[in-house]
Amino acid sequence: MNIKALSVNRDIDLALFSRYLYQSSVLHRINEVGAEQEIWVNSELDKQKIQSLYGAFSRGEFELQDNGIRSERASIAAQLAKILKQAAASPFILTLILANVICFPITLGIETGNQSQWLAEFTLLSFNVMNNQIYHADLAYTLDTHQYWRLITPMLLHFGWLHIVFNLLWVWEIGRRIEQLNGSLVVFLLTLTTSVTANLMQYWMEGASLFGGMSGVVYGFLGFGLCISRLAPSIDLGLPKAIYGVMLGFLILGFTGVIDLLGLGNLANGAHLGGLLAGMVCAIPVALSAKIRAKR
Catalytic residue positions, numbered: 215, 272
Helices 161-170, 215-231: axis angle to 10 degrees equals 20
In angstroms, rounded to a whole number, what is the distance separating the alpha carbons of residues 246 and 293? 33
Q: Which helix (H) or strand (E) holds 41?
A: strand 36-41
In angstroms, rounded to a whole number, what is the distance separating the alpha carbons of residues 76 and 89? 20
Q: What residues contact residue 128 under an 8 Å CB cut-off, 6+ apart?
A: 120, 134, 135
Closest-CA residue to 167 (of 265, 100, 266, 116): 100
Query: How far is CA 25 from each of CA 20, 49, 53, 156, 289, rounded to the nearest angstrom?
Result: 9, 10, 12, 50, 43
Closest-CA residue to 60 (of 6, 17, 11, 5): 17
In angstroms, rounded to a whole number, what is the distance separating the alpha carbons of residues 193 and 216? 10
DSSP labels for 105-157?
A: GGGTTGGGT---TTHHHHSSS-EEEETTEEEEPPHHHHHHTT-GGGGTGGGG-
What sign results for the dihedral spanned by CA atoms 52, 53, 56, 58?
A: negative
